[in-house]
Amino acid sequence: MATTKQTTRTKTVLPAVKSGQKKTVKSTTAKNVRLTNTTWAYAAAPESADHISIKEQYDLFINGKFVKPSSKKYFATVSPSTEKKISEVAEANEKDIDLAVKSAKAAYDTTWGKMPGKERAKYIYRIARLMQERAREFAVIESMDGGKPIRESRDIDIPLACNHFFYYAGWADKLEYAFPNRHPKPLGVAGQIIPWNFPLLMAAWKIAPALATGNTVVLKPAETTPLTALKLAEIIQESGLPDGVVNIVTGFGNVGAAIVNHPLVNKVAFTGSTPVGKYIQKAIAGTNKKATLELGGKAAHIIFDDAPIDQAVEGIVNGIFFNQGHVCCAGSRLFVQENIAELVIKKLKRRMETLLVGDPLDKNTDIGAINSKEQLAKIKHYLNLGQKEGAEMYQSNCALPSKGYFCKPTIFLHTSQSHRIVQEEIFGPVLAIQTFRTIEEVIEKANNIPYGLSAGVWTDKGSKIFNLTSKLRAGVVWANTYNKFDPTSPFGGYKESGFGREGGIHGLMGYVTL
Ligand code: NAP
Ligand code: MG
């Protein structure tokens, strides 16, 4: 399969800098490590792709079988780091969606909707275990298809996806404890549409609670990252899940729209952009369909002067450069208290110089490939716009691979609330930085945005954390950490970031009537 070119990469090594201290770097030579005055060399450490199997062509997964699309059309899925085709997947149309939804409805009526929770749980556990057994394969395919560093797909996406199945398997026979003195009933067929930033994890967020509560599913992955969902279909087949309980259909936006508009769909679970979320809300208005919408974000990441600065800088890096900034809850607006701004920015710039951008399959890589050519063009548009708006752009000096879609980690200084780079979701490794003096000011600025998905606070004072968490209009607020996820915690937004919660006991609510 994929071959990775052996290259030698350099990583800048910098000493800890105290405020006001001159930057001097001593040259030392250790065994096996070439240490020059600013850099040492890392040999590439590519994850092997020999153990994975990707078919040349994938069909639609409907009623427990892989079936040809009625259009007979297929489209390519490419690796954003090599620009090469990996495989081709079926392009569904309305006829296929009708078949998938009817299969899900039949499975709901005849088997899954009637099955006792403890029996459903066994299937969900089995899916979790099979995923876990093939975790390495999933991680490699996720990085190849979507561009994220193997370190993230291996340590975050895949384990979390498995854990969602394990967690919700545990709820399947305990729904009366989740909803005491109520009688939770499944809704029927759930139409689920997911984006490209966490392909397998988003599929797990959607499928696991739906199955635990007795619903059946038609899921559509994003057009640029369909492969791990199709591998999941193979696992579902292997698990012996009754035919039609989960159907996975690939295609473009019109496929998503066909699912949303199908009269036999009882629930729409969507994660994606705010414009498509608004379209879905209009489409289902006046119907009995339930919906949960997880949409865009523009999180405020707030650093107070009593924060542990070095940890906070790591938090900032993790908040915006993690997964190339392709994170709905990315800490894309940084608010630093004025008296420490200079120091924080200095340390941040130094840390940015150490980030390695490149081959997603290399275990050294910090920042992988931007998911698609279109997304890279969108990010570049915002980089130009930010400069035109008068902000000062700083990018790390790292080299970018000559092939593939890559973007240097970028920060904008001297931004203001009215700048579009501050107000709009960029969905790339781009951070807009502002300063503040008082708590009231930062709350006002943080909330002055159409989104309300997440926020982060760094301070030594618990009272400040509690004060802010009650006043920030964000579904998730992290304190002295960032981008931490857990299947037991609910996740979701306020305002234009959507409604409904996924994860935790709250994640069951969107799939039942009480
Ligand atoms: P997107 O363009 O809205 O696409 C999301 C999904 O919807 C894709 O599968 C897409 O299919 C499908 N779709 C497109 N048009 C549709 C329509 N008219 N009806 C139904 N489905 C349709 O979003 P994206 O660019 O893939 O993902 C990035 C966005 O997702 C960002 O805004 C991000 O903040 C958000 N996001 C939110 C969360 C959260 O939990 N709040 C999590 C992750 C991402 P195609 O791929 O074929 O176009
Ligand atoms: Mg792809």
Are residue 412 and residue 508 in the same domain, yes or no?
A: no
Active site (annotated) includes residue 328: yes
Is residue 52 situated within a structural domain?
Answer: no
Which residues have CB atoms below 5 A from the ion given as ligand 2? 77, 145, 224
Q: Which two tokens stand for residue 363?
A: 């275990």
For residue 392, which phi and psi values (nearest 5 degrees)?
A: -100, 125
Instruction: Write a three-state SS string for 126-161.
Output: HHHHHHHHCHHHHHHHHHHHHCCCHHHHHHHHHHHH
Does residue 297 carry a pLDDT above 50? yes
- How crowded is residue 465: how many other Cβ atoms within 10 Å of its Cβ? 18
Instruction: Out of 162, 328, 329, 407, pick the active-site residue.
Output: 328
Residue labelled with tokens 């119907």: 287
Are residue 273 and residue 405 in the same domain, yes or no?
A: no
Are residue 290 and residue 309 in the same domain, yes or no?
A: no
In this structure, are residues 11 and 40 in contact, taking their beta carbons and an 8 Å threshold? yes
Instruction: State what percent of residues in the chain have pLDDT above 90.
Output: 91
Judged by average pLDDT, the poorest of 31-35, 306-310, 389-393 is: 31-35
Task: State the first-to-last Cα distance of the chain, in angstroms, to the nearest integer.
Answer: 50
Is residue 492 situated within a structural domain?
Answer: no
Half-sphere exposure of 195 (CA within 13 A, CB side): 20
Local confidence band at 123 (pLDDT 50, 70, 90 cut-offs): very high
pLDDT computed for residue 31 by the predictor: 37
pLDDT computed for residue 40 by the predictor: 62
Are residue 247 and residue 133 in the same domain, yes or no?
A: yes
d(CA 219, CA 259): 9
Q: Best of 255, 273, 496 to mutate for ligand 1, by most ligand atoms within 8 A of CB?
A: 273
d(CA 151, CA 136): 11
Q: Which helix (H) or strand (E) holds 380?
A: helix 373-388
Are residue 321 and residue 381 in the same domain, yes or no?
A: yes
Are residue 463 and residue 334 in the same domain, yes or no?
A: yes
pLDDT computed for residue 456 by the predictor: 98
d(CA 458, CA 299): 14
Are residue 280 and residue 160 in the same domain, yes or no?
A: yes
**Where in the sequence is the domain holding 391, given as residue range(s)?**
300-487
pLDDT computed for residue 42 by the predictor: 78
Q: Whose CA is closest to atom 42 on ligand 1?
A: 328
Q: Which two tokens stand for residue 292?
A: 């949960």
CATH number at residue 72: 3.40.605.10
Is residue 414 situated within a structural domain?
Answer: yes
Instruction: Write a three-state SS string for 51-70.
Output: CCCCCCEECEEECCEEECCC
Q: Whose CA is closest to atom 30 on ligand 1?
A: 272
SS3 at position 464: helix
Are residue 366 and residue 314 in the same domain, yes or no?
A: yes
Distance 384 CA to ligand 1 centre (A): 24
Are residue 122 and residue 228 in the same domain, yes or no?
A: yes
d(CA 17, CA 269): 48
Is residue 172 situated within a structural domain?
Answer: yes
Is residue 24 situated within a structural domain?
Answer: no
Active site (annotated) includes residue 294: yes
Are residue 100 and residue 209 in the same domain, yes or no?
A: yes
Instruction: Out of 294, 425, 496, 502, pick the active-site residue.
Output: 294
CATH number at residue 332: 3.40.309.10
Say if ligand 1 is within 6 A of residue 248 CB: no
Are residue 177 and residue 236 in the same domain, yes or no?
A: yes
Distance 273 CA to ligand 1 centre (A): 5
Is residue 481 situated within a structural domain?
Answer: yes
Q: How far is CA 46 from the centre of its chain?
A: 23
Overall domain count for the chain: 2
> Could you tell me which of 134, 111, 122 has the C-alpha nearest to residue 169?
122
Overall average pLDDT of the 424-435 stretch? 98
Beta-carbon contacts of residue 113 (< 8 Å; ≥ 6 apart)? 186, 188, 214, 215, 216
Is residue 315 situated within a structural domain?
Answer: yes
Local confidence band at 320 (pLDDT 50, 70, 90 cut-offs): very high
Are residue 502 and residue 477 in the same domain, yes or no?
A: no
- b vs e for 121-141, b when ≥16 Cβ sit within 10 Å of the residue's Cβ? bebbbbbbbbbbebbbbbbbb
In this predicted model, what pLDDT tens digit does every residue of 69-119 receive, in sequence order?
999 999 999 999 999 999 999 999 999 999 999 999 999 999 999 999 999
Say if ligand 1 is within 6 A of residue 291 CB: no
Q: Which two tokens stand for residue 280?
A: 């879905």
Mean model confidence pLDDT for the chain:
93
In this predicted model, what pLDDT tens digit does every residue of 158-212 receive, in sequence order?
999 999 999 999 999 999 999 999 999 999 999 999 999 999 999 999 999 999 9
In this predicted model, what pLDDT tens digit does every residue of 460-482 receive, in sequence order?
999 999 999 999 999 999 999 99
Say if ligand 1 is within 6 A of residue 272 CB: yes
Half-sphere exposure of 129 (CA within 13 A, CB side): 9
Overall average pLDDT of the 233-259 stretch? 98
Is residue 464 situated within a structural domain?
Answer: yes
